[in-house]
Amino acid sequence: MASTKLDEIDRKILAELQADGRMTNVELAKRVGISAPPCLRRVRTLEEAGYIRGYHADVNPRELGFEVQVFAMVRLHSQAESDLSAFEQRCRDWPLVRECHMLNGEIDFVLKCAAPDLSTFQSFLTGQLTAADNVASVKTSLVIRCAKDEPGVPFDVLEDRLAKLA
């Protein structure tokens, strides 16, 4: 199901759930202008098709004592697929790594890391990340503050694009 195969109601459902995944099906149906039973069927279909990957709480890292967020730019010695996959698996196993994105260009991966304090991150950096097989270099940037952290995609941009195609 490509985004062009989604109808306006499906896109509204996705936009509403992206903004508030805890609303009841009755409230969701009301917001998108359909009754509850077909709304629930549509949500289930969107989940099964992979448009909705899951639901989670947006927790505040600082309130939980995670004072340090760092972006780590990682270059590898080898970019063979087996080496890339091995590094990705290693990242999935490291609890401090919250996001891992493979890039093109000079940097192979950017990692978003969260740690309770700088010494915990430094121990991870020197003891695990830079010491990992195939890691050529790591450059880090400490997050000072976050000006924007929006989940998902901008549905208004999608709707504008689809309107232009129609």
Confidence of residue 5 (pLDDT cuts 50, 70, 90): confident
What is the CA 136 to chain-centroid distance, rounded? Answer: 26
Mean pLDDT in the chain?
95
Look at residue 3 and tell me whether its pLDDT is greater than 80: no
Look at residue 4 and tell me whether its pLDDT is greater than 70: no
**Which CATH number is 68-142 given?**
3.30.70.920
Confidence of residue 68 (pLDDT cuts 50, 70, 90): very high
- Rounded to an integer, the average pLDDT of 7-36 is 96
Confidence of residue 1 (pLDDT cuts 50, 70, 90): very low
- Rounded to an integer, the average pLDDT of 60-75 is 96
- Rounded to an integer, the average pLDDT of 86-111 is 98
With tokens 């989604």, the residue in question is 6
**Same fold across 3-57 and 68-142:** no
Domain boundaries along the sequence of the chain: 3-57, 68-142
Confidence of residue 86 (pLDDT cuts 50, 70, 90): very high
pLDDT digits (tens, 9 = 90+) for 131-166: 999 999 999 999 999 999 998 999 999 888 888 887
- Rounded to an integer, the average pLDDT of 56-80 is 96
**Which CATH number is 3-57 given?**
1.10.10.10
